[in-house]
Structure 1
Amino acid sequence: MTPYDLLVSPFVEFEFMRRALVGIFALSLGAGPVGVFLMLRRMSLTGDAMAHAILPGAAIGFLVSGLDLAAMTIGGLAAGLLVAVGAGVVARATEIKEDASMAAFYLVSLALGVMIVSLKGSNVDLLHVLFGTVLGLDDPTLLLVAGIASLTLVTLAFIWRPLVLECVDPTFLASVSRAGGVSHIIFLALVVMNLVGGFHALGTLLSVGLMMLPAATARFWVRDLTALVVVATVIAFVAGVAGLLISYYVGAPSGPAIILVAGAAYAVSVVFGPAGGVLSRLMPRRHLEA
């Protein structure tokens, strides 16, 4: 069997594989850059919490209209933004820290969402919500994911400088501009939108994986911010393609296969990555070399 037969033929022969490939490409374009900024802002677990937070809104949309794209998308967006704002308000109005507040909101949201879906739907519906159906993407879902990716890239281009400054020196940014707070809110909205897009393909439990694992993997190979964004996006796309091929040949679930490939890339990078990997830290450095 030639490399063409192994790597290209499934996407040429089957339309559902081509749709999944387009969906993964769009998800990678949006999730890659957002994941890098989540990592640099030490908000990785916040992204995970917000991924679970969209579940009750999507579940209510499911309760009202079944597996309807518009209802579940609107519900997920509303729930994600509500949890993000609610956790921030609780953290500022009480003595509890924001990470603990977010954890409380996400645990309640996850339980509530699973309960709602379980009450009306079947086990198949619950699996669809939790793990997505990347091999069953239709045209409206592809347009939604592509629209979110396009909006993400355009918005990041406008708020790039305040986002970078807030990652490096938030105190300085606060002293010279008020753009930090606005950019933070816009960035959280982008996180929620990309999680909702990923939710339709990978489900609420795995959508954050394509956002955070490529970003963490890229950090072991490059240090420049622009390179980080590019490498994270490429890793997300390659992991998606590899996961789809594994799913096609082995019969494994596509969403978990994609995330496991991304996890394997992360594990390899932890050991062999030249920018802070285990082996690079064990190797002797030249005198006065950083």
Structure 2
Amino acid sequence: MTYHIFDAFMQFGFMRRSLVACLALSVSLTPLGVFLILRRMSLIGDALSHAVLPGVAIGYLCAGMSLFAMGLGGFIAGLLVAMSSSWISKATKLHEDSTFAGLYLGSLALGVTLVSLRSSGVDLLHLLFGSLLAVSNDSLIFIGVIASITVIMLAVFYRAIVFESFNASFFQARSKRFPTLVHAMFMALVVMNLVAGFQILGTLMTVGLMMLPAIAARCWTNHLPSTLVIAACVGAMSSFLGLAWSWYQSIPAGPAIVLTATILFLLSIFFGREKGIMPIYNKSSETLTN
């Protein structure tokens, strides 16, 4: 049975490239998902994944299926929405999630409209859901560079990001400008990784690999470094099992990976040591018994 699971990866180069791309994204996307959870911004990743679509569409209209043009356009569009949302929330005293909701819905509609101006349905599906089993060497290098930059930046600014995530008000009081720069850098990393992910998972599926492993990891431990490691492992496991599932059952690869991550998330919800339903129920029963 084990041989059959690995068989597709051993025989076909495109399966190996897809797996490497997903593993690289698992290392960079999942830590960002953990920090988004700590900031109570879990749905912001979903909003930003839609917000990059107009920039991707403009890059597509200008240069066709150019990796660089669509990536640059998506990064600019996502960063513009993120920074505009932060500025509007401060200027109007609205919650940041409210401004994100308004901006990302408009961005999604604009992006779909722009793509439809010069595309077939196949092109639109490619942008929305990706083409994981058609990862090119250029895409693999692009994803590897983004993942490497993300890991290095998180390592260098780890303490600052942790401070800003747990107690932004205290951090802001101690330093006026640095917290703003840390927040902008963090959001830029989120946008960069979503742009990298859309190459293989599409704009609608990438956020699944970002958030589901992160939420699952939170069910197992309250220790932040352990949470980051578990999230990356869950992301890697979801990538491998999802790709194998898609190959042997002939289902789309991106949704298969996200569905696998959802199954691991549900198992964590029920059996997670710290926040799982069953351990909490057992502890409550022991307390009542004693």
- Alignment TM-score, normalising by the size of structure 2: 0.95
Match of 2:115 in 1: 117
- Indicate which of 143, 156, 159 corresponds to 1:158: 156
Q: Which runs of 4+ in 1 moved over 4 A?
A: none
SS at match of 1:201: coil
Please state if 1:11 is matched with 2:9.
yes
In 1: Cα distance, 2:131 partner to 2:67 partner: 13
2:133 to 126, 132, 135: 135
Tell me, in whole angstroms, the C-alpha distance in 2 between the residues paired with 1:157 and 1:97: 29
Q: 2:81 matched to which residue of 1? A: 83
Instruction: Report the Cα distance in structure 2 between the residues aligned to 1:163 and 1:110, rounded to whole angstroms.
Output: 29
Q: What amino acid is the match of 2:191?
A: V
Task: Identify the residue that residue 274 of structure 1 maps to in structure 2.
Answer: 273
CA distance in 1: counterparts of 2:240 and 2:107, whole angstroms: 31
For the pair 1:221 / 2:220, whether they are aligned, the reply is: yes
* Residue 239 (structure 2) aligns with: 240
How far apart are the structure 1 equivalents of 2:85 and 2:274?
A: 34
The residue number in structure 1 matching 2:196 is 197
1:260 and 2:256 are equivalent in the alignment: no
Aligned equivalents of 1:108 and 1:170: distance in 2?
A: 29
Provide the secondary structure at the position in 1 that maps to 2:200.
helix
Residue 95 of structure 1: CA displacement?
4.1
Could you list the runs of 5+ residues in structure 1 that have no partner in the other structure?
Answer: none
Partner Cα distance (1:121, 1:284) in 2:
56
Q: Supply the distance in 2 between the matched residues of 1:96 and 1:206 (Cα, whole angstroms).
A: 28
Residues 195-216 of structure 1: CA deviation (Å, up to 9, x unaligned): 0011111000111110000000
For 1:151, give the aligned amino acid: I
Aligned AA (1:252)? I
Q: How far is the alpha carbon of 1:168 from its aligned partner?
A: 2.4
| Cα distance in 1, alignment partners of residues 221 and 92 from structure 2 | 39
Alpha-carbon separation, structure 2, partners of 1:10 and 1:20: 11
Count of residue correspondences: 286
CA distance in 2, matches of 1:185, 1:109: 20
What is the rounded CA distance, in whole Å, between the counterparts of 1:65 and 1:149 in structure 2?
25
Distance 1:245 1:42 in 2: 33
What is the rounded CA distance, in whole Å, between the counterparts of 1:60 and 1:171 in structure 2?
38
Aligned letter for 1:207? T
- Aligned residue for 1:184? 183
Counterpart of 2:172 in structure 1 is 174
Distance in structure 2 (CA, Å) of the matches to 1:84 and 1:119: 26
Contact 2:41 2:97 (8 Å CA) reproduced: no
Contact preservation (8 Å) 2:209, 2:258: yes
2:56 to 49, 55, 58: 58
Measure how far apart 1:176 and its partner are.
3.0
Cα shift at 1:276: 1.1
Aligned residues: percent identity?
46
State the partner residue of 1:93: 91
| Residue aligned with 2:157, SS | helix
Q: Helix, strand or coil: the match of 2:100? A: helix
Structure 2: distance between partners of 1:16 and 1:284: 47
Q: Residue 91 of structure 2 aligns to which amino acid in structure 1?
A: A
Q: How far 1:182 sits from its partner (Å)?
A: 1.6
Q: Indicate which of 35, 38, 47 corresponds to 1:37.
A: 35
Q: Deviations over 1:93-121 (max 9, x none)?
A: 22432211110110001111111111210
CA distance in structure 2 between the aligned counterparts of 1:13 and 1:95, rounded to whole angstroms: 57
2:83–2:184 CA contact under 8 A, matched in 1: no
User: Gaps (5+ residues) in structure 2?
Assistant: none
